[in-house]
Amino acid sequence: MTQALTQAPLTLSEIAAALGAQVEGDGSLVIRRAVHPSEATGPGDLALAMDKELLALLPGSKAVAAVVAEGAEVPEGIAGRVVVKRPRYAMAGMLDLFERPVHAEPGVSPQAYVAPDAVVAPDASIAPFAYIGPRARVGAGAIVLPHVTVGADAVIGDGCLLHPGARIGERVEMGARCIIHPNAAIGNDGFSFVTPEPGSVESAKTTGRVVGTNVLLRRVNSIGTVILGDDVEIGAGATIDRGTVTATRVGNGTKIDNLVQIGHNVQIGTNCMLCGHVGVAGSTVIGDRVVLAGKVGVADHVKIGSDAVVAANSGVGTDIPAKAVYMGYPAVPRSRAFEQYKGLARLKRLFTDVADLKARLRALDGGGAPKVEAEAEQQE
């Protein structure tokens, strides 16, 4: 756990109030750092001991203050403690209190390029070697770090944070407080091509056979854009393609992990979570609060209902209803997937039972299996 240093010391009571938690013991203790219990060096350290493994480290810690889960038995030597009901949620609030913001110089660096007709808010920060294209707009309090490119006519909302190497394409629109991590690319052209006559893919989809031949792949330009809502976070190396004619959209509060691919025309709702290596093909519609776990693949033109959860490594090829839990390859309802896994685990025993039944039938039939059956068994 990385040590975190507050901007200014806080008392234990102030920390508890900010978290909406209870303080027990000495609430006047002054806290300067939040630390792993094993890394505490003195009274100014607050030990984060909200699970059993970390709580067990408190007896040997030099901390005199701790954050613990409700119902935890705290050892002697801890003079004050903050008691929280939901540890992981409390951790999020705690790290907000002890956040160490990125370093950003105020104003526009002389080493940055800002187009003459771009509009940059006076309190925005534009770092060296950043590029702000023609007619682009950068909102109040936005931070654009080194080697970021913001294309022509793009809109960066108030309070956005663009980490080094982020690529924001032309006409991309970004709401307030978005975070774009290193080397993410927003607003790429979609992967869209067409053949003069029906090609191999079309024949394979309709007939299951390859009939057509791809003698020419004509590029379908993407004249749409990407629109991100407020509080969207895009992970490092993630890519989002612009729409063919309209916009690829990501709703407010949605979080997209590292190395995720979002195809053209995709519509993603609010407060969704797309974990690492997820791939979503073009024109898919994802509802609100959907969770796609790591390495989920979603076929094109699929609809996933709000509040659905798809387990890791699943392949989604059909629509998923709201509030459903799907898993497997291809993805099916969780209960059905478990039935399939159980069936596979029982196959060996089933084959043994069938062989035993065959032997019994041959014995009842005089001991001689028909020649055709014997040859079939030999081939197996």
> So which residues are the catalytic ones?
264
State the Cα–Cα distance between residues 112 and 124, nearest whole angstrom: 13
For the chain, the helix, strand and coil percentages under 3-state DSSP, each to the nearest 5 = 20, 30, 50
Tokens in use for 100? 């160490």
CA neighbor of 250 nearest in space, from 197, 180, 319, 194 = 180
Please, are residues 57 and 76 in contact by the beta-carbon 8 Å criterion? no
Q: Is the dihedral of CA 139, 165, 313, 1 positive or negative?
A: negative
Residues 6+ apart with CB under 8 A from 311: 293, 296, 325, 326, 327, 328, 331, 334
**CB-facing half-sphere around the CA of 75: CA atoms within 13 A:** 16
CB 121 within 8 A of CB 141: yes
Q: Compute, in degrees rounded to 10, the torsion defined by CA atoms 205, 206, 212, 218.
A: -60
Give the whole-angstrom CA distance, residue 52 versus residue 204: 55
What totals of helices (H) and strands (E) does the chain contain, helices first?
A: 7, 39
Can you list the alpha helix ranges (DSSP code H) found in 222-370? 334-345, 347-364
Q: How many CA atoms lie within 13 A of 33 on its CB side?
A: 18
Q: Which residues are CB-neighbours of 90 under 8 A, at least 6 positions away?
A: 19, 21, 50, 67, 84
